[in-house]
A and B are shown apart, each in its own frame.
Chain A
Amino acid sequence: MTSPGSALVVDDSRVNRLVLVRQLSELGLEVLEAENGVAALELLRTSPGAIDLVLLDVLMPELDGYETLASLKADEALRHIPVIMVSGVEELDSVVRCIELGATDYLTKPINPRILEARIGASLAAKRLRDLELLHIETQRELTETIERQKVALSRYLSPQISALIASGDDEQLLAGHRRQITVAFCDLRGFTSFAEQADPEELLGVLGEYHRMMGESITEHGGTLEHFAGDGVMIFFNDPVPQEDHVERAVRMAIAMRDRFQPLARSWAKRGYELGFGVGIAVGYATLGRIGFEGRYDYGAIGNVVILASRLSSQAASDQILLSQRALAMVEGLVQSESVGELQIKGLSRPVPAINVLAAR
């Protein structure tokens, strides 16, 4: 049989301790003793969690019952341990003061074993409840930590906007599908295919890593939603799931930042013999956005002509070009210096599309 708990008996009289130790042992408790308040506090502090209950004599020399009780209740680690005051009948006034100080209960000497059993039982039950409560709080804290850790881990795989959306809980409506005007930017590398054929796998992943890191920084700075990476191709959209009034401007500024950051990378690769260029296509229009995929593997994606147009503009862009659709330019006119590159024949569209290259921000 396991012990129902352990008790600490604090009394200056050895005779009284012997009696209480005996009575508590009869109840199956493990019993520790202290001859005064100082020794009791010392014992409690050096054996955390080992004592479930304290039986404290009201009046003791050295540290008396009041002071011991007050110190106990002031100690974060000890204050939840129930304390039963033990007193003579003539000391009942002191008992009232002890209850006010936080004592759980009291016993008068001579101690009736049946009353002792009842009071001990009640205090230990309260202690067990409190311990369970503490355990619950601890479990809750661990759970919260796990969730936080998973959120951080998840956010490495998802665009921050998407992971925030999922974590928020009110994601269902957005994930279910909706239509919204967005700006789509497609970026990819010129010369990547032949580079991929020639380079070592390690070299290839190294170059891609540098490129993606640079892209990632620019995307985050401008609040873009990363839809996907596909080798050197990256698709980003704006104005969803977080609404952004200046979504076209953000896309253009992001593209300019990427192009600027790409220059030193391109130079260092060139030294290693790789000629890589950077091109972007940007278009604005309505798309359907939401959860795309199947159980077990969903993406948050955008579908619509605007996506196709941005993608085609990107593939027609020469090195260092940021090609805008007519509509995209109309929404950032005055903010950028640009030049027309004429009309482009776009696969899948019946009519040629005018395209504009962004030279610089104004």
Chain B
Amino acid sequence: MAGDEAPVLDAGVLAALSASVGGDRGFVLQLIDTYLADGEAQVQAIDAALRADDTAGLVRPAHTLKSSSATLGAMRIADTARGLEMAGRSDEPAAPDATAEVLVTRLRDDWTEAITALREWATAEEAR
């Protein structure tokens, strides 16, 4: 399964994003900051919803996290968030390892990895 996993960070997406705003590095870095702040809140909201046994309540933060993550190339967490969104929308999990409980554990790890990868990318950009 590990081979099917999406990359933590697709640098190509970030490069394309940067190009789409005229190569404005400052803007992209600011975007990453926004993502990290909002993403933290969304991960916590998903956690809280699940602990409160409110499966439907995780749909909204999962959806937004998926969407923002894909925009910045944080593909692995985007996939996990998509899985959570789908799990929240239906009663039946898509696969035995795709229950909300399983996915939310993975989400924590994915989030930590995404933060690290984005910070590294940002540091490298700032150093250029």
Query: Which positions in A face B, CB cutoff 8 Å?
Result: 11-16, 18-19, 22-23, 26, 57, 59-62, 88, 109-113
Chain A residue nearest to B28 in the complex (CB): A19
A12 touches B64 (CB 8 A): yes
A61 touches B20 (CB 8 A): no
Query: Which positions in B face A, CB cutoff 8 Å?
Result: 13, 16-17, 20-22, 24, 27, 30-31, 34-35, 38, 59-60, 63-64, 67-68, 70-72
Q: How far is the CA of A113 from the CA of B20 in the complex (A)?
A: 6
Q: Which residues of A contact B21 (CB under 8 A)?
A: 19, 22-23, 26, 113
B17 touches A18 (CB 8 A): no
Given the contacts A18-B31, A23-B20, A12 and B60 also touching, CB distance less than 8 Å: yes
B27 touches A16 (CB 8 A): no
Given the contacts A15-B31, A15-B34, A26-B22, A109 and B63 also touching, CB distance less than 8 Å: no
A110 touches B17 (CB 8 A): yes
What number of residue pairs across chains A and B have CB atoms under 8 A from each other?
Answer: 60
Which residue of B16, B17, B30, B71 contacts A13 across the interface (Cβ within 8 Å)? B71
Given the contacts A19-B20, A22-B21, A14 and B60 also touching, CB distance less than 8 Å: no
Chain B residue nearest to A18 in the complex (CB): B31
Which residue of A11, A15, A19 contacts B38 across the interface (Cβ within 8 Å)? A15
17 contacts between A and B (CB under 8 A): A12-B64, A12-B67, A13-B68, A13-B71, A14-B38, A15-B31, A15-B35, A15-B38, A18-B30, A19-B20, A19-B21, A22-B21, A26-B21, A61-B60, A110-B13, A110-B17, A110-B71
Which residue of A14, A18, A61 contacts B63 across the interface (Cβ within 8 Å)? A61
Q: What 15 new A-B contacts, CB under 8 Å, besides A18-B31, A60-B63?
A: A12-B67, A13-B38, A13-B64, A15-B31, A16-B71, A18-B34, A22-B24, A23-B20, A59-B63, A61-B59, A88-B67, A88-B70, A110-B20, A110-B71, A113-B20
